[in-house]
């Protein structure tokens, strides 16, 4: 008798649904000084914990694309990228090794991911800002990139 791996058809159909989706609404990419930062994917989960009557647990993953159209390398500091909730709370990223900077070569494109988790403040389907202040540098100087206003989907 042959030992074969059988994968249900439903699993194959639903598997692509696990990928990150585009955000529900966005002000578009942040562009400045030859640099473009865009949210290209996201996953947001919001759960009510009965132990916390008024706060929900929210996990937000963002996929960002950084395009460097200049002739000098950039450095992305993921630990400086903040998601700001409507109440002004801006949690730090919980991304693994976020303190390690990522280089984007001249003329290059780099895709990066950041993760946030909070109890309260952040909301899937609520207005959020991706604050890029001090997150992208060239030659040690921070680039002036505007925040990206968006609404995540869950």
- Local confidence band at 19 (pLDDT 50, 70, 90 cut-offs): low
DSSP output for the chain: --------HHHHHHGGGGSPBPPSEE---EEETTEEEEEEEEEEEEEE-TTSSS-EEEEEEEEEEEEE-SSS-EEE-GGG-EEE-TTS--PPP--TTTTS-EEE-TT-EEEEEEEEEEESS--TTSEEEEE-TTTEEETTEEP--PPEEEE---
Per-residue pLDDT, 17: 40
Domains of the chain, each with CATH number or no CATH = 17-151 (2.60.40.4170)
User: What is the pTM (predicted TM-score) of this model?
Assistant: 0.84
For the residues 79-94, what does the mean pLDDT come to? 94
């Amino acid at each position: 008798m042959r030992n074969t791996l059988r994968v249900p058809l439903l699993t194959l159909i639903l598997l692509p649904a696990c990928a990150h989706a585009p955000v529900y609404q966005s002000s578009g990419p942040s562009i400045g000084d030859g640099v473009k930062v865009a949210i290209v994917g996201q996953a947001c989960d919001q759960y009510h914990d009965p132990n916390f009557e008024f706060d929900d647990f929210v996990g937000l993953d963002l996929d960002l694309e950084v395009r460097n159209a200049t002739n000098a390398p950039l450095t992305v500091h993921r630990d400086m990228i903040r998601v700001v909730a409507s109440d002004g709370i801006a949690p730090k990223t919980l991304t693994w090794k976020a303190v390690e900077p990522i280089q984007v070569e001249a003329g290059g494109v780099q895709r990066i991911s950041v993760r946030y988790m909070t109890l309260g403040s952040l909301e899937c389907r609520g207005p959020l800002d991706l604050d890029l202040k001090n997150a992208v540098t060239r030659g040690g100087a921070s680039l002036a990139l505007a925040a990206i206003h968006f609404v995540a989907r869950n």
